């Protein structure tokens, strides 16, 4: 009965049940649920976002990307003895291919909510969902860049929420910290980037927490690499500020704060880079 109604929360719950119970045969219902992801649907939009995020969290593998049928090694099927086994393998391949496509559509639908002029509640909901899904390997960099792009949001409150979310993501592990810093670096050096976007991006970097492992391992190497990237970003901005006519006090303060925070984690090689650039910083601070 619920499926016949074609609308309402009972309909969405019925589809979610079918996807959970029979994922191989009910993946088409994910697209039906996606049709509710629109600000105009209001309450149904919130419900569908919740349902879809939970479904994808259970369906998407955490430690690998999904594989499309086109990228499958078809030659392995030649080694399969029985037609039924071959059919089962093809069925699983087809399922993963469809799941990969519908998951990308969900990410794009969530991005549209972030980019729209809808109320902050929808944007915050989409931000929270993307922030949880970024831990999956599938489309990880894409999701992270969607979040980073909102650092320039016109709403100060929402831009602050984006900074908080990215700090949480960076705090998951040293690998995520490295990934966040690298992607924010790419964001910062885009041409024609708005000043407020630069300010919020630098604000984020300056408050990231760096931690060294007491045992000294690959984690320390990762942190040292992050520290090296951060100091290069800061010094690059100081050099550009030294040549500018106006001195943006707020940005200068944040850059100095970032330098102080990252200094204890700089390796010897990065120190030699820093010494070559401290003269630019000295000139800037004394003008």
Of 49, 157, 197, give the one whose Cα is nearest residue 111: 49
| Per-residue pLDDT tens over the stretch 155-212 | 899 999 999 999 999 999 989 999 999 999 999 989 888 889 999 999 999 999 887 6
Instruction: Provide the 3-class DSSP secondary structure of residue 82.
Output: coil
Six-digit token pair at 223? 């942190």
pLDDT at 1: 44
214 has a pLDDT exceeding 50? no
Total residues found in the chain within this entry:
287
Report long-range pairs for 179-183 (Cβ below 8 Å, ≥24 apart). Answer: 179/140, 179/141, 179/144, 180/144, 180/208, 181/205, 181/208, 181/226, 181/229, 181/230, 182/229, 183/141, 183/144, 183/145, 183/148
Q: What is the DSSP letter of 210?
A: P
Instruction: Provide the 3-class DSSP secondary structure of residue 232.
Output: helix
* Cβ(180)–Cβ(144) below 8 Å: yes
Task: Return d(Cα 252, Cα 241) in angstroms, integer.
Answer: 8
CB crowding 21-56: b at 16 or more within 10 Å, else e? eebeebbebbebbbebbbeeeeebbebbbebbbebb
- What ranges do the domains of the chain cover? 1-138
Q: What is the dihedral of CA 248, 287, 206, 218, to 10 degrees?
A: 150
Of 153, 155, 150, give the one whose Cα is nearest residue 169: 150
What is the reported pTM? Answer: 0.87
Mean pLDDT across 43-67: 92
pLDDT category at 48 given cuts 50, 70, 90 is very high
């Amino acid at each position: 009965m619920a499926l016949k109604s074609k609308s309402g929360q009972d309909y969405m719950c019925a589809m979610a049940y079918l996807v959970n119970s029979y994922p191989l045969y009910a993946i088409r219902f994910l697209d039906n649920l996606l049709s509710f992801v629109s600000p105009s649907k209001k309450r149904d939009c919130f419900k569908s976002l919740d349902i879809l995020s939970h479904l994808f969290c259970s369906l998407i593998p955490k430690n690998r990307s999904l594989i499309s049928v086109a990228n499958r090694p078809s030659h392995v099927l030649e080694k399969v003895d029985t037609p039924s086994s071959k059919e089962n393998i093809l069925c699983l391949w087809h399922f993963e291919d469809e799941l990969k496509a519908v998951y990308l559509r969900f990410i794009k639908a969530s991005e549209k909510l972030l980019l729209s002029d809808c109320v902050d509640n929808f944007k915050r909901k989409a931000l929270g969902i993307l922030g949880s899904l970024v831990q999956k390997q599938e489309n990880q960099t894409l999701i992270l860049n969607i979040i980073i792009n909102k650092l320039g949001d016109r709403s100060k409150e929402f831009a602050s929420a984006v900074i908080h979310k990215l700090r949480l993501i960076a705090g998951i592990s040293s690998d995520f910290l490295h990934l966040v810093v690298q992607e924010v670096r790419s964001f910062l050096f885009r041409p024609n980037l708005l000043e407020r976007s630069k300010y919020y991006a630098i604000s984020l970097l300056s408050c990231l927490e760096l931690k060294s492992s007491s045992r000294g391992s690959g984690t320390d190497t990762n942190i040292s690499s992050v520290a090296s990237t951060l100091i290069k970003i800061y010094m690059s901005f100081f050099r550009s500020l030294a040549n500018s006519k106006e001195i943006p006090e707020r940005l200068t303060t944040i850059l100095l704060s970032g330098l102080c925070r990252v200094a204890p984690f700089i390796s010897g090689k990065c120190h030699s880079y820093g010494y070559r650039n401290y003269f630019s910083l000295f000139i800037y601070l004394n003008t």
